[in-house]
Amino acid sequence: MTSKFSIKNGWLDGTAEFPFEIKPSPHCDNRECEDISLLVIHNISLPPGKFGSNHITDLFLGQLNPDEDEYFADIYKLRVSAHCLVRRDGSVIQYVPFDKRAWHAGVSDYCGREKCNDFSIGIEMEGTDDINYTDEQYITLTQLSDCIIQTYPDIGSQITGHSDIAPGRKTDPGASFEWDRYLKSLMINR
């Protein structure tokens, strides 16, 4: 199986088999290093446990309306982003080019190296720690990851969850994320 995505100038480019949108976020900047060598898997749902709205995009674009849900009152001013979001239907939204630093990891450490945003790519799965992800999400995540690894080969052996780089502070992608399924699919895809 080959990837249905490719990357041009940091942005996704691919076939309609895996639909994607580009929605540039202002919440990014230049990396402080040149080695992109870590892939971090996250989850997000807004409001928590609800899927299918544009609220995640609104948050990442700095446009979340605090009046739409009481939960948003505490988060609408956050300046956060991820490189991509994999929706429940398997579609992808890219917010930040892969060669730029997205603001997804926060205070973090991977194998003794701090500030993971500097050298990582962040992919958000639309979901929660305790609700199963969809088959479509796993298929797309595998294809997307394969494309990223082809472009940034050092990532191939360095894929982790947000909970692993920010233990005690973050729990995502959670117990509902099937790491074995995902990592085996990556191996089969190569």
Evaluated on CA atoms 88, 136, 18, 128, the torsion sign reads positive
Active-site hit among 17, 34, 68, 124: 124
DSSP result, 92-103? EEE-S-TTSEES
Pairing of strands 120-126, 28-29: unpaired
Cβ atoms of 125 and 54 within 8 Å: the answer is: no
Q: pLDDT tens digits, the chain, 190 residues: what are they?
A: 456 789 999 999 976 567 899 999 999 999 988 899 999 999 999 999 999 999 999 999 999 999 999 999 999 999 999 999 999 999 999 999 999 999 999 999 999 999 999 999 999 999 999 999 999 999 999 999 999 999 999 999 999 999 999 999 999 999 999 999 999 999 776 5
Q: How many CB atoms lie within 10 A of CB 154?
A: 13
* Residue boundaries of the structural domains of the chain: 5-189
Distance in angstroms (rounded) separating the CA atoms of residues 57 and 34:
27
Given this model, what pLDDT does residue 14 score?
A: 75
- In CATH, what number does 5-189 get? 3.40.80.10
Three-class SS of 162-181: HHHHCECCECCCCCCCCHHH
Q: Is residue 21 among the annotated active site residues?
A: no
Helix (H, G, I), strand (E, B) or coil at 5: strand
Residue 66: asked if its preceding bond is cis (omega within 30°), the reply is no
